[in-house]
Amino acid sequence: MEPFLRYWMAWPSVENFLSVHAWAWPLCETFHFFGIALLIGGVGLFDLRMIGMAKGLPMAALRRLLPWGVFGFVLCVVTGLVFVTGMHANVPSHPYDVLMTNVYLQLKFVFMLLAGMNLAAFYLTGMSRAVDDLGPGEDAPGLAKAIAGASLFLWLGVIYFGRLIPEGL
């Protein structure tokens, strides 16, 4: 399994592309940050409204931002894969070794997994339907507030630990 992961995590084509084109890494960083802004902007506003902030806004209006948050997440995953698979172009370590030894990268992945499980809980418990029709001034159910608080905490944790990844190299 390790040889397969070592090969998969260091795509020579991505590494070569990043080595030849000095503009590619910073462009990916720019798109990664843009993806974070879309993700936190869309999902974060939705979560803050569920917690009870900006009660003057109907949930339906904020729900329209969620596809932008999903797009931001996809953008982050794509650029994150470029960072991992092309890491050797900037760092003298194999991506597999970094994954196995960098606690911050591992914690980022754990927080992403937990955020995904939290999202699944939001839909599987019926909280998604419960908050769909909340109008201005209405409170979300307690469980929806807890899920929204966990979502904010987890996504901010993803950003925090992602920012620390270079410290662990």
- How many C-alpha atoms does 69 have within 13 Å on its Cβ side? 17
Q: Provide the whole-model pTM.
A: 0.90
What distance in Å separates the CA atoms of residue 104 and residue 110, rounded to the nearest whole number? 10
The domain of 29 spans: 2-168
pLDDT classification of 122: cutoffs 50, 70, 90 = very high
What is residue 164's predicted lDDT score, i.e. its pLDDT? Answer: 96
The number of domains in the chain is 1
Indicate the SS3 state at residue 148.
Answer: helix
Q: How far is CA 96 from CA 24, 78, 106, 161, in A?
A: 22, 18, 12, 18
pLDDT classification of 155: cutoffs 50, 70, 90 = very high
Q: Which two tokens stand for residue 87?
A: 């890491």
